[in-house]
């Protein structure tokens, strides 16, 4: 007899508590291999393909596409040691499991041996689990209860139905969803006063459109609110003549080789500035009342996508040259557009660079990407009147804004950082002298 194992939505890491089912990658009856992706989910941070740690036959799926599930909720059940249902070339599925494929994968329940199926599964029958070495049903808190599916339990609970009063029509008396639905149809409906329908949290008034703050939009809202609530931030800004920086980039890109992006040059300037002013490459441990300073720069950069604002992180940006930074920015930006960024690529930043000039605006007061201590904002680079070498000229001018956590440093440090960044933008040779 096959053993049915329940695979639950794993902890996808970084404090994520729920995910929305975007697309099922398997059907009931499919044979899956260990670590084969079975569902694509969208978290508040990224699109993730979730691999199943068990190999066997899919016997149930929980949740339709578009359903939001909490971490720990059932995703699928897999019959391990089950033969393929229709001669698909798989004699039997091995009753093995992978290791911890993602955070929170508990796979120690799966046996580590092969078992051969003695009889074919009944078509359309609900799965049963192995209890004490034989087919049976899971134990309830106060005794055996012949029901497996959490959906059946929830349906009965929501309708006040005692499952112990039902006789299941499935194998070994297993209670199926059809049994619950039949019992509910046969039972008299309670009066409206006995079980009033829950009122919605809010209804749209005429002329209103209400959009739930959930998923990525909800995560962004929570993070920005927390930043404003917890961080005593301040902003300083300066205009800089970026003409020489733009000329330097043009010269680099006409010399052959991979193209260097403007964002990569700004990132090199940021990492050099953080080496001189490391106070801004830090975070505040409020509980310990300590400033935690980092010896590495994991540089986040703001990227607008169809799914909303994301902040991918370039690991060890301080150790990369402009060519490497350009390639990594391009890779992460494309992954953000296609929704394939992993949670690990969206977290762990120590400083953020925000180029909002791509939206055609000159300036902004950036909100710090909690729990970091600072963010550099870069406006558009446009021709403007500028006094250059004592003469009025048209130059390529950019506004730079620095928002910083006033707990980690005072204005002198923040001003020194921003002035150094502006000097490097105006005279790229300043950067070369400090490398």
**CATH number for the domain including 90?**
2.40.50.100
Contacts of 184 (CB under 8 A, 6+ apart): 155, 159, 161
CA nearest neighbour of 321 among 244, 377, 246, 260: 260
234 with 85, same domain: the answer is no
Residue 420 lies in a domain: yes
pLDDT of 248 reads: 93
How far apart CA 344 and CA 359 sit, in angstroms, is: 27
122 with 230, same domain: the answer is no
pLDDT of 324 reads: 96
280 with 421, same domain: the answer is yes
Query: By three-state DSSP, how is residue 30 classified?
Result: coil
CA nearest neighbour of 67 among 45, 39, 101: 39
Rg of the chain (C-alpha set): 29
130 with 227, same domain: the answer is no
281 with 386, same domain: the answer is yes
273 with 396, same domain: the answer is yes
Give the end of a domain, one of 136, 152, 171.
136
294 with 405, same domain: the answer is yes
When divided into structural domains, the chain yields a total of 2
Count of H-run helices and E-run strands, the chain: 8, 23
Give the end of a domain, one of 68, 102, 136.
136
Instruction: Give the strands of the sheet with 36-42, arranged side by side.
Output: 47-52, 36-42, 18-24, 68-70
Cα separation values, 342 from 73, 196, 394, Å: 21, 43, 44
Contacts of 15 (CB under 8 A, 6+ apart): none
386 with 299, same domain: the answer is yes
pLDDT of 290 reads: 96
Instruction: Quote the pTM value.
Output: 0.61
Give the end of a domain, one of 136, 161, 176.
136
Catalytic residue (choose from 318, 370, 388, 406)? 406
Cα separation values, 172 from 135, 145, 206, Å: 8, 11, 54
232 with 376, same domain: the answer is yes
Q: Return the residue matching tokens 């953000």.
A: 336
pLDDT of 151 reads: 57
How far apart CA 272 and CA 434 sit, in angstroms, is: 8
pLDDT of 255 reads: 85
14 with 116, same domain: the answer is yes
378 with 284, same domain: the answer is yes
pLDDT of 44 reads: 66
Per-residue pLDDT of the chain (435 residues; tens, 9 = 90+): 678 899 998 876 655 677 888 889 999 989 999 888 999 887 766 777 888 888 889 999 998 888 888 888 999 999 987 454 444 444 444 445 554 444 434 343 433 333 333 333 333 444 433 333 333 334 344 445 666 555 567 677 778 888 778 877 766 677 877 778 778 877 665 544 444 444 455 677 888 898 887 767 777 788 889 999 999 999 999 999 999 999 999 999 998 889 999 999 999 999 999 999 999 999 999 999 999 999 999 999 988 877 777 899 999 999 999 999 999 999 999 988 887 888 788 889 999 999 999 889 999 998 999 999 999 999 999 999 999 999 999 999 999 999 999 999 999 999 999 999 999 999 998 876 655
Residue 369 lies in a domain: yes
pLDDT of 344 reads: 82
How far apart CA 328 and CA 326 sit, in angstroms, is: 6
312 with 430, same domain: the answer is yes
Domain that holds residue 341: 215-434
298 in catalytic set: no
* CATH number, position 343: 3.30.559.10
DSSP for 342-378, written as a single string:
-GGGGS--SEEEEEGGGGT-S---PPP-TTBSEEEEE
Residue 150 lies in a domain: no
Residue 374 lies in a domain: yes
Contacts of 133 (CB under 8 A, 6+ apart): none
Residue 27 lies in a domain: yes
CA nearest neighbour of 78 among 100, 99, 93, 63: 93
Residue 286 lies in a domain: yes
Q: Return the residue matching tokens 């590495």.
A: 296
In the beta sheet, which residues pair with residue 58? 78
Residue 100 lies in a domain: yes
Residue 48 lies in a domain: yes
CA nearest neighbour of 298 among 278, 323, 281, 275: 281
Token duo for residue 176: 């199926």
């Amino acid at each position: 007899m096959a053993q049915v194992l329940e695979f639950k939505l794993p902890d996808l890491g970084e404090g994520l508590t729920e995910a929305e089912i975007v697309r099922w990658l398997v059907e009931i009856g499919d044979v899956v291999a260990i670590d084969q992706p079975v569902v694509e989910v969208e978290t508040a941070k990224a699109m993730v393909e979730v691999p199943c740690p068990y190999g066997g036959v899919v016997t149930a799926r929980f949740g339709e596409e578009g359903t939001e599930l909490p971490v720990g909720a059932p995703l699928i059940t897999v019959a391990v040691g089950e033969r393929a249902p229709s001669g698909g070339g798989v004699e039997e599925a091995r009753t093995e499991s992978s290791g911890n494929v993602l955070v929170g994968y508990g796979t120690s329940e799966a046996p580590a041996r092969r078992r051969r199926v003695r009889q074919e599964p009944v078509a359309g029958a609900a799965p049963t689990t192995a209890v004490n070495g034989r087919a049976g049903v899971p134990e309830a808190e106060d005794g055996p209860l012949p029901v497996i599916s959490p959906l059946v339990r929830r349906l009965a609970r929501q309708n006040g139905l005692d499952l112990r009063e039902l006789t299941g029509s499935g194998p070994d008396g297993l209670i199926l969803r059809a049994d619950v639905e039949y019992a509910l149809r046969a039972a008299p409906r309670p009066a409206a006063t006995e079980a009033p329908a829950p009122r919605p949290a809010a209804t749209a008034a005429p002329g209103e459109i209400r959009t739930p703050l959930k998923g990525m939009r909800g995560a962004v809202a929570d993070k920005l609110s927390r930043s404003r609530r917890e961080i005593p931030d301040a902003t300083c800004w300066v205009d800089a003549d970026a003409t020489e920086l733009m000329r330097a980039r043009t010269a680099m890109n006409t010399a052959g080789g991979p193209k260097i992006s403007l964002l990569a040059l700004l990132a090199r300037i940021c990492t050099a500035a953080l080496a001189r002013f490391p106070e801004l490459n830090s975070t505040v441990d409020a509980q310990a009342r300590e400033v935690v300073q980092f010896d590495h720069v994991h540089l986040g950069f703001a990227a607008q996508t169809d799914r909303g604002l994301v902040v991918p992180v370039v690991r060890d940006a301080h150790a990369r040259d402009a060519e490497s930074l350009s390639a990594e920015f391009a890779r992460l930006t494309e992954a953000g557009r296609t929704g394939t960024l992993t949670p690990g690529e969206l977290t762990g930043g120590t400083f953020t660079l925000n180029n909002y000039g791509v939206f055609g605006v000159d300036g902004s007061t950036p909100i710090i990407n909690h729990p970091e201590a600072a963010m550099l904002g870069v406006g558009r680079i446009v021709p403007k009147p500028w006094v250059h070498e004592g003469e009025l000229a048209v130059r390529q001018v950019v506004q730079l804004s620095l928002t910083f956590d006033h707990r980690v440093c005072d204005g002198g440090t923040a001003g020194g950082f921003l002035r150094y960044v502006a000097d490097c933008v105006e005279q790229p040779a300043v950067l070369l002298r400090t490398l």
